Structure 1
Amino acid sequence: MNGPYMSGTPCWIDLMVPDQQAALDFYRDLFGWQGEVGPPETGGYSVCTLKGKPVAGIMRASNPDGTVPDPMPPTVWTTYLATDGIDSTLKAVTDAGGSVMMGPMDVMDLGRMAVITDPTGAVVGLWQYGTFAGAGIVNEHGALIWNELSTGDTDAAAAFYSAVLPISTAKSQMPGAEGYTEFKVGGRSVGGMMDLAALPAEVPPHWLPYFHVDDVDGVQAAVVRAGGSVRAPAFDMAAGRMAVLSDPQGGTFAVITATAPESPA
């Protein structure tokens, strides 16, 4: 991926954690990412790379003044959707029943960002391309391959995302994936959506990043050895073999050996 992503496409992910260095070490060992705590002017934000290309961000949870939050927010991965115009998108967000949690704000010359909550309660970011397009490598071992929304109201979510970005929805045609919805941009599937009822009752609406890996079972075992946990043990499904895992600080993600990886760009 060399240029900007089409508006509506998941283009970046980042992780907010209490211990940034521990997270950098964990994902380096698990996926081969390279990254270090960033400069003060970026709040220490780390852009991790894989094969020299940006793959994900990791930042320390902190208040705007740099102090440690109390209580500490949950450790979560945030998915960012590309937009050609963040201000008009944010107006569409509020018009469609969503809310703005943060922003819009300029990130130096890299771009503009905001974080919103959709009407079903799921948090997602928005990214307007400047000099930084987002993930520079996808669909390879250790890189992003898919982003999935779990929500208690799939109809409301479909209507919302279609209203705020050039996203359409369609029921999946994969065998065994009845009831699964795909998000499409320009006719291409760029993400998915499932009913929250399939998950434990305590799980809130959320976006989940998927990383492509060569060996799901091996990665699952490595996560456990490193002090992480297994949310859904490795299993076979229509799109490949996958597992849902959490890092030692609680950041949840999925890994998949996809049967036919496709670029989300």
Structure 2
Amino acid sequence: MKQQQVTTNGPCWVEHGSADPEAAQRFYGELFGWQPEPDEHPEAAGYAFMRLDGKVAASVTPLYGDEQPTAWTVSFLVTDVDASAARLTGAGGSLIVEPTDALDYGRFAIAADPSGAVLGLWQASRLVGAEVLNVPGALGWVELLTRDPDGARAFYPAVFGWTVAASEQYTQWGLADGDFGGMLTMGENFPPQVPPHWLPYFSVADVDVTAFRAGNLGAQTLMAPTDVPDGPRIAVLRDPVGAAFGIYLAGAEG
């Protein structure tokens, strides 16, 4: 994701749905320097924006349903959320939350692709999305982990018009201004209870130092710092509340 601002049909927002929002705010505040800004609207029900050097980078929110897991949700910017939702269901996806107004910020839907990976659709009004991308502490890459890569290669271009650059090792998703994400096939090393999902990667100045600090803050290492062939140094972690996320070396995005 080389762009410094959100792009239509690209990732625009990441939201941490948390069983313990205060713990999540503390963890990411310590790790990335995020500062919470609670939404003061009574209807916001505990929603908090997370700012990096004064710019909105992400959000943390309570869980809204008994069956909702603690996890990051990646949202993609669309011009018409109702039309995009119809296109998504027509391509075999499903809606978890029908298109709904989010106060005066915009309009959204929560959906799942045919394999069950959850994603958000966002039609901007007052909030376009993250105000900062691709700098240390901000979103820089998104990755789909799925057991149906062929289905994903058909589904996502049909919904969003993405380009697909596939090799034997990896598939990358792109738009006209460059690739912003990728896809990893979930093999036997993934426990069967782990569902397909979208994983956000945050840019950091030093992967090893950040992973070490995350461990001291209570995170679990899912993949130790690793150099990707022809790619950046990355690591995958699970925060103390239970949500998985990745980190990668700033300036080395694909």
Give the TM bin, normalised by the shorter chain: over 0.9
Letter in 2 for 1:189: D
Aligned position for 2:202 = 211
CA deviation string 1:211-243 (max 9, x = no partner): 111111111111111111100111111321111
Letter in 2 for 1:49: R
**Pairing 1:241–2:237 present:** no
- For 1:1-265, list aligned pairs within 5 A: 5-39=6-40, 40-63=42-65, 69=66, 73-171=68-166, 178-186=168-176, 188-197=178-187, 199-202=189-192, 203-237=194-228, 238-261=230-253
What's the offset of the Cα at 1:119? 0.5
Is this contact kept in 2: 1:210–1:256, CA < 8 A? yes
* Aligned structure 1 segments of 4 or more residues deviating by more than 4 angstroms: none
CA distance in 2: counterparts of 1:41 and 1:155, whole angstroms: 41
TM-score, structure 2 length as denominator? 0.92
Between the two proteins, what is the percent identity of the paired residues? 39
Q: Give the RMSD, CA atoms, in angstroms.
A: 1.8
What's the offset of the Cα at 1:260? 3.0
Letter in 1 for 2:55: K
Letter in 2 for 1:250: G
Distance 1:199 1:122, change over 3 A: farther
CA distance in 1: counterparts of 2:143 and 2:189, whole angstroms: 13
CA deviation string 1:159-178 (max 9, x = no partner): 11111112121115xxxxx3
For 1:25, what is the secondary structure of its paired residue? helix
Distance 1:156 1:85, change over 3 A: same
Is this contact kept in 2: 1:148–1:194, CA < 8 A? yes
For 1:157, what is the secondary structure of its paired residue? helix
Is this contact kept in 2: 1:241–1:258, CA < 8 A? no
Is this contact kept in 2: 1:239–1:258, CA < 8 A? no
Is this contact kept in 2: 1:137–1:143, CA < 8 A? yes
Structure 2 unpaired stretches of 5+: none
Structure 1 unpaired stretches of 5+: 64-68, 173-177
Aligned position for 1:175 = none
Is this contact kept in 1: 2:149–2:185, CA < 8 A? yes
What's the offset of the Cα at 1:199? 4.2
